[in-house]
Amino acid sequence: MLRIVNGEVYDPINGINGEVQDICVRDGRIVETSEVSGQPSVSATSEVWKTIDATGMVVMPGGVDMHCHIAGAKVNLARKMRPEDHRNDVMPRTPITRSGTGGSVPSTFTTGYRYAAMGYTTAFDAAVPPLAARHAHEEFNDTPVVDKGFFVLMGNNEFIMQRIAAKQHERARDYAAWLLQATKGYAIKLVNPGGVELWKFGGNVHALDDEVTGFGVTPRQIIQTLADVSAELGLPHPVHIHCNNLGIAGNWETTLETMKALDGRRAHLTHIQFHSYGGKPGGLFASKAAELAEYVNAHPNLTVDVGQVMFGDTTSMTGDGPLGYLLYQVTGRKWANVDVETEEGCGIVPIEYKDKSHVHTTQWAIGLEWFLLINDPWRIALTTDHPNGASFMSYPRIIRLLMDREYRREMMKQVHPKALAKTHLPELDREYSLYEIAIITRAGPARLLGLKNKGHLGIGADADITIYDKDDDKEKMFACPRYVIKDGRILVEDGHIREDTYGRTFFVAPAYDPAIEADIREHFDKYYTIRFENYPVQLEHYLPRHEAVACSD
Amino acid sequence: MPEGKLVLITGRSTKQGTGISNGKYLAEYQEATTVLGLSQADMARHGLRDGDTVRLISRYGEATVKCRSEDLPDGMAFMAFGSTINQLVGDETYASGMPDTKGLEIELEKTPA
Amino acid sequence: MQVDNVVCAFCGCVCDDISVTIEDGRITQAKNACVLGKAWFLSHGQPSDRPAAMIDGQPASLDDAVDTAARLLAQARYPLIYGLSSTSCEAQRQAVALAEALGGCIDCCTSVCHGPSGMALQGIGEPTCTLGEVKNRADLIIYWGSNPGESHPRHMARYAVTPKGMFIPRGRKDRTVVLIDVRPTPSARAADLFLQVKPGKDFELLWSLRALVKGQAIEEAGLVGTGLTLAQLTDLAERMKRCKFGVLFVGQGLTQSRGKHLNTSAAFMLVRDLNSVTKFALVPMRGHGNVTGIDNVLGWQTGYPFGVNFSRGYPRFNPGEFTVVDVLSRNEADAALIVASDPVASLPRKAVRRLTEVPTIALDTHESETTRIAQVVFITATAGISAEGTIYRMDNVPLHLSNVLPSPHPSDEQVLGRILARVKELKPC
C-alpha cells in the first residue's frame, strides 16, 4: 500500500502532463486516490500505508524497453566470447543482490538490477530462435525485477517459407500460432527475411524480390505474409521487422521498398537508424533519415524504434548471420556465428563506434535525426538495439541529447565534421519535453507492445512507477531515479536495490487449427534433430511467473 | 621418441563408458581402466603377451597394469580414463586448466609374473 | 509401462527419442539408446538401497548431512565446488549461488575437457551450427581427435553421417567423412578417409592447413614428423575448399594434447578462414552429460564459462588460477563440494590427493570413487530419470529432462538448495 504524494506526474496515455497529483497503489496496481484520501498511515484494518513525499519530483510510469538483446543463446554466446568486456565492470554481491559482471553484455542478474536502477520495469528481448526458447526463459528466470517477453524469429523459418510457396496462407498462420504457443513468445519477428536462410550456404538476399533459392519465395512475400498473419491472429504487437540489407550503404531504398510492400499493413520497423543509409555499397554512408521519416510520418500503419548508436565499445549481436560476417570482415574482430536448424541464425562481433569516424558519426546523427524528425512521438521508441548500437545504460544520455540542444551542440563539435554536415542534424533545434520523453520511453512502447497495464498510471495499471529528482542535467536525472516501484513495491531507493524480486513473463497463445500438428510433426521427423513432442516449452516449469496477453478477435 | 619410451594416450572407451554407469567397482569398468593397449610390435619388443602385468612410469607417478595387443602405431600406448592411469598424469596445466591428459611420455617395465 | 521420447542425459548427444520401459519400479528397456545410454538408463533406473545421506560412512539424516556439509564449507577459507556435468541446470544454478555465498571457486568438467574450446571462443569467436544443420546440409564431415564410435555412439547415425537431410537427400552417399586421429579407432572404420597423425602435431597441421586454404605454398620439410605428407594435407585442404558445407567436429584429441587451447584456436581460425571460400562450421564434441549446461549457466550468471572465483564477492575468471586441477594440486582448496562428477577417478593424482586431505562433500546418484573418500555423501535422484530439469546438447540446444521413475531421494537441486540456505545462515553476506 503506497501513496506517492505531490509529485509532478507525466502519464501521457492518460493525458497527464506534469500535473501535481497523488498516485495510490494497492495490491500491485494503481487505485483511485479517493480510496485512500484521508487514510491514516496505519488504518483500523491494519493496512500499512507507506507514503513517498514526491514534492518537486517527477513521477512517470516505469520504463519499457521494447527492443533489446538480454537473454538466450545468442546473448550468452556473446557473454562467453567476451571475458574482456566483463572484467572492468563488476558487480559485487550484497546481502540482497546477486553478483555479476557488466560491460556491453552483462550477466543476467546485473542486467535486471541495472535496468531497475535506471527506472525501467519492462524489457523485451527482440530475437529468440524458437529451438532455443527454453534457454531464453531460463535466462529470464535469472533476470531480476523487470517484466519481460520475447519476439520469436520466423522470417527464415523453412516451414513457413514452404507454406508460402505452396500458397497455403492459413497453414502458415496456424503454424505461426503454434510456434508462439510452443515457445511462449510474444510477437513475430523478422530478421533479414530470406537472407539468413541463404547464409546457411554462404549467400544472402539483396532485394525484396530476390528468390530464396530452394524455397521459391521472396522477402516481399515473407514480409507480407507474416504481417498479415500477425494481424489475423490478433497479436497485441504487429510484425516486428529488421529489414534486409541492414548496415549497407544505400539500404534506405530497401527500407522504403519494405515500407511500401507493407501497403497499409501494421508493422513495426526496428532499429530504423541502421536501415537509413544513402550512398553506394562499399562507399560512405549518407543519411536518408529525412526521406524515410517523411514516409513514416505520412503512413500511420508504421511504427519504428531508433536503434541509436552511441560512441564507445560494444557488441553487435544479430539474427542477421551474413551481417555478422560482414562486420567481421570490416572490423577484423572476433566473430561467432550460429546457424540454427530450419529456423534462424545469428552473428556476433565486438564493435567500437568512434566519434572521429565518418561512418559512425553518420550513424549517430541519423538516429538523432529520426528522433527529431518524426512528428508523432507515439510512433517512435527510444532504443539502442542494446547492445548493438550501445548499452541500454546509455538511455539517459540519449534523453539528454534530445532534451538539451546545447548539449547536443557540444557533442556535435566532437564528431566528424564533414559527416555531420551531410546530415540535417545541425539544423534540427527541436527539444523533447518531459512529456514526450515519457512517451518514447514508456507510454509509447507499452502501447506499441499492446500491454494495456503498462506505461501508464491510470486506475488498474500495474504499479510500475519511477520517481526522479529534477535536474537540469537530464542524463543525471534519468540515470539515477530516486525511487523505482515495481508491482507496488519500492525496489530501488537512491540507487540501491532494496529487494531481490522477479517479474512476470508475458506471452501470447493465439488459437490454431490442431490439424497443423500432423504437418509440423512430419517436418520435425524430416529436418529437425529433436522430437516434435520435446519441442514445446513447459509452461509451469519455465515460466513460474507468467501472464498471457489476449489476442484480439 | 627416445628408445624405450612410449607416448601415452588416454581417452574414452565403450566399456569405460558403460562401466561408469554400471558401477566403477565392477569388473567391466575395472578391466576397462586397468588394461594398457600396445602395438603388436611393442608387445614383442618387450617380450609381452596379452594379460601380462607391466609397470608404467611417468615423471609424475607409477601404475601397475595389465597389457594387451591393440591396433596402435608403434611407440604409442592407450588406456581408458580412470584413476589408475591418472596416477601417471601430472598436474601442471601451463595456465590452461587442462593437464597433459594425452601425449604423456612414459616408460614401461615388464614385471615378474 | 512405456514412456517415449525420453531424453538421455549421458553424453553430449542428448538423444531425445529413447523409449523407456518401466516394470515393477525399474527400467528394463531403453529402446533407441546406444550402448552407453542403455547402461545409464538401466543402471540408474533401479531402486537404490543406499541411504540418502551419509556422514563418515554412516547413514545420517538429510538434515544432519546438510548441516554438516554447510558447516564444512562455510568454515573453509577457499572452498571449491566442482563437477556438475551429470545434473540439471536447475541444480547447477543452485551450485553457482552456493559458490557465491561461500566466496569460493566453482569449476566444472569443462576445464578438463573442452575448456580449450571455450578459450578459443574467447580469442577467435566460433563459426558453428546446430546438429540439424549438419543433418540437412553438410557434405563434408571431419572428426579431428574424436572417437565418436566410443564416446558418442549415435553421433554418426543420428546427426552427422547417415541421416538424410533437406539438401542431403541420399544421406551417407552424399557425404564424405574424414577422421583424423593418432590411432585407428573403431570410428576410423566408418570414415571414407582416415588420416593418422603423430601425437602432439595437431597445431602444426592445422596451421599448415590454414596456409593451404589461403593459397600459400608450404614446404614438405615443414611437415616432417606430423605423420602426413604435403600431398595428403593438400588433398584435405582441397576437399575443405570444394565442399558445399563442411563441419569440423573438434574432439579431446585437440583439447587434451600438447597445445590445448592453441590447437583449438588454430582449428577455429581454420574454420573461420574457410568461410571466405565456402560454408564451414565447427562443433566441439562436448562429452559428459550436461557439461554444456553448466557452461551456459555459468555464462549467464557470471559472464564466464568455467573456472570462476567469488572470493572478492564478484565473479572472476582465470584458467590455470581458478580451475580445478590447479586449485587442488597447489593445495589451495581447503574444502570441496563435488556434484554429479567423479574427480577421484578422472583427475590427475596430485589433485585427487588434495581431495582426500580436505573435507569433501559429494552428491552423486550412486557410489563412486569420490563418494568413497567423501566425509559427507548425498545419494540423489538421477536428473533425467528421477528428477526433472533442463539439459543442453553439445550444440547448445536445450531440452527438458523428465522424471520417469520417481525416487525417494531428493534431487541435486533440492540438496544444494538446502545447503545454500544453511550456508547463508552460517555465513551471511
Domain boundaries, chain C: 50-113+289-426, 115-284
| pLDDT over 90 at A44, yes or no | no
Q: Are A382 and A66 in contact (CB under 8 A)?
A: no
Residue of B nearest to C348 (CA): B86
Neighbours of C372 (CB within 10 A): 15
Q: In angstroms, what separates the C-alpha of A539 from chain C's closest C-alpha?
A: 12
Cell of C294: 553448466
Distance CA A328, CA A336 (A): 9
For residue C194, the model assigns a pLDDT of 98
C326 touches chain A (CB under 8 A): no
User: What is the model's pLDDT at position C46?
Assistant: 87
B98·C256 Cβ contact <8 A: yes
How confident is the model at residue B82, as a pLDDT? 92
Considering the segment(s) B5-110 as one domain, its CATH architecture is: Beta Barrel (2.40)
Contact C36 B25 (CB under 8 A): no
pLDDT 10s digits, C376-423: 999 999 999 999 999 999 999 999 999 999 999 999 999 999 999 999
- Is residue A236 very low, low, confident or very high in pLDDT (cuts 50, 70, 90)? very high
Does the pLDDT value for residue A85 go beyond 60?
A: yes
Q: Where are the domains of chain B?
A: 5-110
How far is it, in rounded angstroms, from Cα C209 to Cα C347?
33
Is A93 a residue whose pLDDT tops 60? yes
Which pLDDT does position C287 carry in this prediction? 86
Chain B adjacent subunits, 3+ CB pairs under 8 A: C
Distance CA A162, CA A221 (A): 12
Write down the pTM of the prediction: 0.97
Using a CB–CB cutoff of 8 Å, tell me whether C228 touches chain B: no
Q: How far is C234 from chain A (nearest CA, A)?
A: 23
Question: For residue A41, what pLDDT is reported?
Answer: 47
Task: Report yes or no: C22 at the A interface, CB cutoff 8 Å.
Answer: no
The whole-number pLDDT of residue A272 equals 98
Task: Give A304→chain C minimum CA distance, Å.
Answer: 30
Find the CB nearest C133 among A85, A107, A200.
A200
Alpha-carbon span B57 to C119, nearest angstrom: 31
Chains that touch A (3 or more CB pairs under 8 A): C
What amino acid occupies position C397? Answer: V
Residue A190 to chain C, least CA–CA distance (Å): 20
* A167-184: average pLDDT: 98
State whether the Cα torsion A105-A74-A365-A402 is positive or negative. negative
pLDDT tens, position by position, C202-250: 999 999 999 999 999 999 999 999 999 999 999 999 999 999 999 999 9
Interface of B with C (CB under 8 A): 7, 9, 11-14, 17-25, 60-61, 71-73, 76, 78, 81-83, 86-91, 93-103
Query: Which residue of C42, C256, C350 is in closest CB contact with B102?
Result: C256
Confidence check: pLDDT of C48 > 90: no
Q: Do B60 and C349 touch (CB under 8 A)?
A: yes
Residue A362: pLDDT over 90? yes
Q: Which residues pair with A23 in a beta bridge?
A: A4
pLDDT for the residue numbered A47: 63
| Nearest neighbour of B86 by CB, restricted to C115, C321, C352 | C352
Q: Does C310 touch chain A (CB under 8 A)?
A: yes
All three cell numbers of C267, joined, read 582449428
* C-alpha to C-alpha distance for A239 and C196, rounded to whole angstroms: 53
Is A342's CB within 8 Å of C136's CB? Answer: yes
Question: Lowest-confidence range among A132-141, A384-393, B29-38?
Answer: B29-38
Q: Report residue A26's pLDDT band, with 50, 70 and 90 as the boundaries.
A: very high
Q: Are A275 and A293 in contact (CB under 8 A)?
A: no
How many Å apart are CA A289 and CA C208, to the nearest integer? 48
- Which residue matches cell numbers 539517459? A396
> C115-284 has which fold?
Dimethylsulfoxide Reductase; domain 2 (3.40.228)
Residues of C in contact with A530 (CB under 8 A): 16, 397, 399
Residue A42 has pLDDT above 50, yes or no: no
pLDDT of residue A334: 98
Each residue of A294-337: pLDDT tens digit?
999 999 999 999 999 999 999 999 999 999 999 999 999 999 99
- Chain B residues lying within 8 Å of C324, measured CB to CB: 97
Mean pLDDT of chain A: 96
Say what the ipTM of the complex is: 0.98
Those residues whose C-beta lies under 8 Å from the C-beta of residue A467, and which sit 6 or more positions away, are A4, A7, A52, A54, A57, A58, A59, A60, A481, A482, A483, A484, A485
C329 vs B: CB within 8 A: yes
Residue B97 and residue C111: Cβ atoms within 8 Å? yes
Q: What is the 3-state secondary structure (H, E, C) of A154-177?
A: CCCCHHHHHHHHCCCHHHHHHHHH
Residue C13 carries which side chain, given as an amino acid letter? C
Q: Which of C38, C147, C183 to mutate to test the interface with B (most CBs of B within 10 A)?
A: C183
CA triplet C51, C55, C61: central angle to 5 degrees? 50
Given CB atoms, is C294 within the 8 Å cutoff of chain B? no
* Strand (E) or helix (H) holding A295: helix A289-298
pLDDT at C252: 96
> Any chain B CB within 8 A of the CB of C320?
yes
| pLDDT value at A40 more than 50 | no
Cis peptide upstream of residue A219 (ω within 30 degrees of 0): no
**Residue recorded with cell 575468471:** C317
What does the longest C-alpha to C-alpha distance in chain A come to?
Answer: 73
Q: What is the mean pLDDT of chain B?
A: 92
Helix (H, G, I), strand (E, B), or coil: what is residue A343? coil
A449, C10, C290, C347 from C36: Cα distances, Å: 48, 7, 15, 21
Rounded to 5 degrees, what are φ and ψ at C20?
-105, 130
Statement: C50-113+289-426 belongs to CATH 3.40.50.2300 = no
Query: What's the confidence (pLDDT) of residue C225?
Result: 96
- Work out how many CB contacts closer than 8 A connect B with C: 155
Helices A252-262 and A289-298, axial angle in degrees (round to 10):
10
Contact residues, chain B, for C352 at CB < 8 Å: 83, 86
* Residue C345 Cα, gap to closest chain B Cα (Å): 4
pLDDT tens digits, one per residue of A433-473: 999 999 999 999 999 999 999 999 999 999 999 999 999 99
Residue of B nearest to C46 (CA): B22
Q: With touching defined as 3+ CB pairs under 8 A, do chains A and B touch?
A: no
